[in-house]
Amino acid sequence: MTVATTLLLPSVIPESSVLAVADTYPEKELDKAAAMQQKLMVQSVEAVNNGVKLVLSDNYKAHIKLKTEDVAKISILKQGEEEKQTAAITETNWDTPSFEMEETEDTISISTDEITVKINKQPFGIKFLDSEGNIINQDNMDYGAGYEDGKPYVFKDTTNDEAFYGFGEQAGDFNRRGDSMGMWNNDAYNYNKDTKYLYTTIPFFIGLKDEKAYGIFFDNSNRSYYEMASESDDYYYFYANDGQLSYYFAYGPDIQDVLTRYSQLTGTMQRPPKWAIGLHQSKWGYETADEIKGIVEKYREKDIPLDGVHLDIDHMDGYRNFTWGEDFTEDPAAFNQWLEDKGVSSVAVSDPGIKVDEGYYMYDEGTANDYWATNPDGSPYIGEVWPGDSVFPDFAEENVRDWWAESHRTIFDAGVDGIWNDMNEPAVFDTPTKTQPLDVKYGDMLHSEFHNMFAHYEAMSSDKAFDILKPNKRPFVLTRDMYAGSQRYSTLWTGDNESSWESMRLAIPMNNNVSLSGVPFVGNDIGGFAKRPTPELFARWIEFGVFIPFSRIHADNGSTVAFDPDAKDIPGQEPWQYGEEVEEISKKYIEQRYKLMPYLYNAFIEASENGTPVQQPLVYQFQEDENTYDINQQFMFGSSLLVAPVVEEGATSRDVYLPEGETWVDYWTGEEHEGGQTINREADLSTLPLYVKKGDIIPHRNVQKHTGEKPLENLILDTYLEDKSSYTFIEDDGETEDYKNGEFNETTFNLKRKGKHVEFTSKQKVSNYDSSLETYTLKLNNENMPRKVQAASTKYKAVDSPEEVKQNENTYYYDEENETTYVNIPVNETKKVKIFFHSDKKTEKAKGKAENNH
Cβ at position 420, least distance to ligand MIG in Å: 8
Interface with ligand MIG in residues 532-561 (CB under 6 A): 554
Nearest residue by C-beta to ligand MIG? 284
Among 179, 496, 536, 737, binds ligand MIG (CB under 6 A): 496
What is the Cα–Cα distance from 319 to 218, expressed in whole angstroms?
A: 37
Q: Of 219 and 312, which CB lies nearer to ligand MIG in the complex structure?
A: 312
8 Å CB contact between 759 and 729? no
Among 313, 459, 519, 607, binds ligand MIG (CB under 6 A): 313
CA nearest neighbour of 822 among 789, 774, 793:
789
What is the Cα–Cα distance from 631 to 789, expressed in whole angstroms?
A: 43
675 SS3 class: coil
Q: Of 284 and 739, which CB lies nearer to ligand MIG in the complex structure?
A: 284
Identity (one letter) of the amino acid at 709?
E
Q: Of 295 and 349, which CB lies nearer to ligand MIG in the complex structure?
A: 349
> What are 117's strand-pairing partners?
110, 128
State the helix-helix crossing angle for 580-595 and 597-610, rounded to 10 degrees: 60
Query: Per CB under 6 A, does 574 bind ligand MIG?
Result: no
Catalytic annotation, pick one of 169, 179, 187, 422: 422
What is the Cα–Cα distance from 650 to 163, expressed in whole angstroms?
A: 32
Cβ at position 349, least distance to ligand MIG in Å: 6
Q: Which helix (H) or strand (E) holds 165?
A: strand 163-166
Number of chain positions touching ligand MIG (CB under 6 A): 10
CA nearest neighbour of 726 among 758, 693, 762:
762
Q: Of 456 and 480, which CB lies nearer to ligand MIG in the complex structure?
A: 480
Among 114, 169, 179, 422, binds ligand MIG (CB under 6 A): 422
Interface with ligand MIG in residues 329-358 (CB under 6 A): 349
Q: Of 293 and 480, which CB lies nearer to ligand MIG in the complex structure?
A: 480
Identity (one letter) of the amino acid at 11?
S
818 SS3 class: coil
- Per-residue binding letters, 460-489, with ligand MIG (x by CB under 6 A): --------------------x---------
Known active-site residue 496? yes
Under DSSP, the state recorded for 397 is S
Q: Of 263 and 329, which CB lies nearer to ligand MIG in the complex structure?
A: 329
Query: Per CB under 6 A, does 284 bind ligand MIG?
Result: yes
Helix and strand numbers (H, E) in the chain are 18, 52
8 Å CB contact between 780 and 694? no
Q: Of 140 and 321, which CB lies nearer to ligand MIG in the complex structure?
A: 321
Q: Of 285 and 305, which CB lies nearer to ligand MIG in the complex structure?
A: 285
CA nearest neighbour of 446 among 385, 394, 493:
394
Known active-site residue 425? yes
Catalytic annotation, pick one of 70, 139, 351, 425: 425
Q: Cα angle at 169 between 165 and 170, to 5 degrees?
A: 70
Query: Per CB under 6 A, does 312 bind ligand MIG?
Result: yes
Catalytic annotation, pick one of 139, 162, 307, 496: 496
Q: Of 202 and 428, which CB lies nearer to ligand MIG in the complex structure?
A: 428
Among 343, 495, 572, 598, binds ligand MIG (CB under 6 A): 495
Query: Per CB under 6 A, does 322 bind ligand MIG?
Result: no
What is the Cα–Cα distance from 845 to 841, expressed in whole angstroms?
A: 6
Under DSSP, the state recorded for 315 is G
Under DSSP, the state recorded for 344 is -
Query: Per CB under 6 A, does 414 bind ligand MIG?
Result: no
Q: Alpha helices of 501-596 — where are they, by DSSP H?
A: 501-515, 535-545, 580-595
Cβ at position 312, least distance to ligand MIG in Å: 5
Q: Cα angle at 437 between 435 and 442, to 5 degrees?
A: 95
Burial of residue 852 (CB within 10 Å: 0-12, 13-18, 19+) is exposed
Cβ at position 507, least distance to ligand MIG in Å: 15
- Give the CA-trace dihedral at 504, 546, 693, 704, to 10 degrees: -170
Backbone phi, then psi, for 104, in 5-degree steps? -120, -175
Cβ at position 738, least distance to ligand MIG in Å: 33
What is the Cα–Cα distance from 360 to 365, expressed in whole angstroms?
A: 9
8 Å CB contact between 642 and 693? yes
Q: Of 349 and 692, which CB lies nearer to ligand MIG in the complex structure?
A: 349
The CA-atom distances, in angstroms, between 507 and each of 524, 527, 528, 685 are: 7, 11, 10, 20
What separation, in Å, do the N-terminal and C-terminal C-alpha atoms of the chain show?
68
- Give the CA-trace dihedral at 195, 527, 350, 353, to 10 degrees: 40
Cβ at position 389, least distance to ligand MIG in Å: 16
Catalytic residue list: 422, 425, 496
Binding site for ligand MIG (CB under 6 A): 284, 312-313, 349, 422-423, 480, 495-496, 554
